[in-house]
Amino acid sequence: MSIAGGYHRSVEAAAAAGCDCVQLFTKNNNQWRAKPISDDEARKFREALATKNISFPLSHASYLINLAAPDEVLRKKSIEAMVIELERAAQLGIPHVVVHPGAYTTSTAEQGIAQIMDSLNQILARTHDLPTTILLENTAGQGTTLGRTLEELAAILVGLDTRAHRLGVCIDTCHAFAAGYDLHSEIGFKKFVQDLDRIIGLSRVKAIHLNDSKKPLGSRVDRHEHIGDGELGIDAFRRLLKHPRLRKIPMYLETEKGFDSHGVDWDVVNLTRLRHCLGE
Ligand SMILES: [Zn+2]
């Protein structure tokens, strides 16, 4: 949800659409700079969460951040920016910040993973007094982006075991499908959840992004589609929502904003489709 007009506006928008939780950027996602959050803005945000009954606020880090960057200037800038992301989330009372692991660009996947671990180590050391945790999001594996496979995410997490309490995972359904995990089929979904538990551990999955996919299985292209209108299809979401071990995890829509052909807010349409799966 947009923070235009103040952080509390994202909470009001979530409540108006019928959400139980909210995800936001705590700064412009395409800029490095951000003006500090005033105490008054933070207070209004916390008050809105309480009065609107919105739980599990989640922050998504800037898209500019690349913790795997072989260029040391860019990586240093990314580390600084991620520290600020965690500070801002803490100020707003947001427990987790989601970040894409990064892209190795001109280096190799192995070097990229080593750089991510080093970056995360520095970030977590510098913010050791903050309660905020980092959630690594799985990716579609476009270009040289890391985090396409559960094994890649696990390699980072295992390597940072001493910081385990401040690291978790966010699973995006569109990214997993585009990465080659067949969440469309019943058998593929079952296997994915089993692998997720075995390789990462379900207790480390703190958020799920619910997005259908415009692109086919294994396409490695990240294009979100409205729930049920894409290659994943509504049955995939029904299975996920009804899964006894997943249903307590907060879930967030990242589908396109706007209105459908009947003039209904797409967030309302997508939420209605999801709740219909649960018989609500
Ligand atoms: Zn996502």
What integer pLDDT is reported at residue 279 of this predicted model? 86
Q: How far is the CA of 38 from the centre of ligand 1 (A)?
A: 28
Longest dimension (CA), the chain: 52
Q: How far is the CA of 209 from the centre of ligand 1 (A)?
A: 5
Report the length, in residues, of the chain. 280
In whole angstroms, what is the distance from residue 89 CA to residue 84 CA?
A: 9
Contact 108, 151 (CB under 8 A): no
Q: How far is the CA of 190 from the centre of ligand 1 (A)?
A: 21
Q: How far is the CA of 139 from the centre of ligand 1 (A)?
A: 8
CA 67 to chain centre: 16
Characterize 115-146 residue by residue with b for buried, 16 or more Cβ atoms within 10 angstroms of its Cβ, and e for exposed: bbbbbbebbbeebeeeebbbbbbbbbbbeebb
Strand partners, 21: 55
What integer pLDDT is reported at residue 96 of this predicted model? 98
Q: How far is the CA of 202 from the centre of ligand 1 (A)?
A: 18
What integer pLDDT is reported at residue 164 of this predicted model? 85
Q: How far is the CA of 254 from the centre of ligand 1 (A)?
A: 6
In whole angstroms, what is the distance from residue 126 CA to residue 264 CA?
A: 45
Tokens encoding 219: 């396409």
What integer pLDDT is reported at residue 77 of this predicted model? 97
Ordered per-residue pLDDT tens for the chain, 280 residues: 999 999 999 999 999 999 999 999 999 888 898 899 999 999 999 999 999 999 999 999 999 999 999 999 999 999 999 999 999 999 999 999 999 999 999 999 999 999 999 999 999 999 999 999 999 999 999 999 999 999 999 999 998 988 889 999 999 999 999 999 999 999 999 999 999 999 999 999 999 999 999 999 999 999 999 999 999 999 999 999 999 999 899 999 999 999 999 999 999 999 999 999 988 7
Q: How far is the CA of 59 from the centre of ligand 1 (A)?
A: 11
In whole angstroms, what is the distance from residue 123 CA to residue 127 CA?
A: 6
CATH topology of domain 54-277: TIM Barrel (3.20.20)
In whole angstroms, what is the distance from residue 250 CA to residue 34 CA?
A: 27
Q: How far is the CA of 229 from the centre of ligand 1 (A)?
A: 17
DSSP 8-state class, residue 163:
G
Minimal CA–CA distance to 136: which of 187, 105, 171?
171
User: Considering just the CA atoms, what is the radius of gyration of the chain in Å?
Assistant: 18
What integer pLDDT is reported at residue 41 of this predicted model? 98
What integer pLDDT is reported at residue 30 of this predicted model? 87
Q: How far is the CA of 43 from the centre of ligand 1 (A)?
A: 27
Tokens encoding 132: 């905020």
Q: How far is the CA of 99 from the centre of ligand 1 (A)?
A: 9
Contact 93, 132 (CB under 8 A): no
261: Cβ contacts below 8 Å, ≥ 6 apart: none
* Phi, psi (deg, nearest 5) at residue 103: -125, 135
What is the Cβ-side half-sphere exposure of residue 13, based on CA atoms within 13 angstroms?
19
Contact 54, 98 (CB under 8 A): no
Q: How far is the CA of 224 from the centre of ligand 1 (A)?
A: 9
What integer pLDDT is reported at residue 142 of this predicted model? 95
CA 220 to chain centre: 17
Q: How many CB atoms lie within 10 A of CB 191?
A: 14
Q: How far is the CA of 55 from the centre of ligand 1 (A)?
A: 18
Strand partners, 29: none
In whole angstroms, what is the distance from residue 262 CA to residue 51 CA?
A: 31
